[in-house]
Amino acid sequence: DGGITQSPKYLFRKEGQNVTLSCEQNLNHDAMYWYRQDPGQGLRLIYYSQIVNDFQKGDIAEGYSVSREKKESFPLTVTSAQKNPTAFYLCAVMGGNSNQPQHFGDGTRLSIL
Amino acid sequence: GQQLNQSPQSMFIQEGEDVSMNCTSSSIFNTWLWYKQDPGEGPVLLIALYKAGELTSNGRLTAQFGITRKDSFLNISASIPSDVGIYFCAAPTGANNLFFGTGTRLTVIP
């Protein structure tokens, strides 16, 4: 969706290395989300943030960390503790009340070298 | 977390055919959303439904909010090759999150 920028599009990680995926939005939305998608699978929630300086664990937070220092930015770090990081990572934003849809970025594909 | 049950899991159809898929849950929802994901891209919102019994169209796509509020249906008429992708249903959890369906993978044979 326009207004949500994920970078890089492709990322490679070496064993034992931390990598950070970027998600930036210019939609002025409060809520931001990170999902993981494995091949042929649905979306699983990693972390989400409703407001600046606050975030909550999702269903599969282990091995990941996030920060929300600015409204526009919600970076995701895949740590070395995540033993199976190869996946497609999607960032989403949502504005307004809880019945509003989420809108997604174009994703980052992370692979292990 | 909870997931919505989508069926079928995959479909192979001839170009020009109509497509039907559905999403069911044991819980009641006030909103149903349908997304399409092209390969290597993020999901894009197709249709949002906010009222039980509501029938909403977006071009060749029509979605319905089930009267029981526990299900939703998506129909695609006269399919074309660019309809290929994964279709997800979603519904809000009430905590500003979404439950997602397991997805229906559509293949259109020219």
Q: What percent of chain A has pLDDT over 70?
A: 95
Identify whether the C-beta of residue B70 lies closer than 8 Å to the C-beta of residue B27: yes
Per-residue confidence (pLDDT) for residue B8, from 0 to 100: 96
Per-residue confidence (pLDDT) for residue B60, from 0 to 100: 97
Identify whether the C-beta of residue B48 lies closer than 8 Å to the C-beta of residue B33: yes
* A2, amino acid identity: G
Which pLDDT band holds residue A98 (cuts at 50, 70, 90)? low
What is the nearest CA distance from B90 to chain A, expressed in angstroms? 9
Which pLDDT band holds residue B3 (cuts at 50, 70, 90)? low
Q: For B52, phi and psi rounded to 5 degrees? A: -55, 135
What is the nearest CA distance from B42 to chain A, expressed in angstroms? 4
Contacts of A4 in chain B (CB under 8 A): 42
Residue B84: both structure tokens together: 């290929």
Per-residue confidence (pLDDT) for residue A97, from 0 to 100: 65
Q: For B78, phi and psi rounded to 5 degrees? A: 50, 65
C-alpha span between B93 and A45 (Å, rounded): 12
| pLDDT over 90 at A54, yes or no | yes
Integer CA distances (angstroms), B58 to B32, B75, B76, in order:
15, 10, 10
**Mind listing the pLDDT tens digit for each residue in B22-78?**
999 999 999 999 999 998 899 999 999 999 999 999 999 999 999 999 999 999 999
Supply the mean pLDDT for chain A. 92
| Chain Cα centroid distance, residue A13 | 16
3-state secondary structure of B102: coil
Query: CB count, 10 Å around CB of A44?
Result: 17
Scored b (16 or more CB within 10 A) or e, B86-96 reads bbbbbbbeeeb
Task: Select from A93, A99, A106 the residue whose CB has the most chain B CBs within 10 Å, as the one to mutate to test that interface.
Answer: A99
Cis geometry, peptide bond prior to residue B8 (ω within 30 degrees of 0): yes
Higher per-residue pLDDT: B99 or B16: B16
Higher per-residue pLDDT: B12 or B95: B12
Mean pLDDT of B6-18: 96
Residue B21: strand pairing partners: B74
Cis geometry, peptide bond prior to residue B110 (ω within 30 degrees of 0): no
Which pLDDT band holds residue B99 (cuts at 50, 70, 90)? confident
Per-residue confidence (pLDDT) for residue A2, from 0 to 100: 61
Per-residue confidence (pLDDT) for residue A113, from 0 to 100: 82
What is the nearest CA distance from A40 to chain B, expressed in angstroms? 8
Q: Among residues B16, B37, B14, which one has the least CA distance to residue B104? A: B37
| pLDDT over 60 at B2, yes or no | no
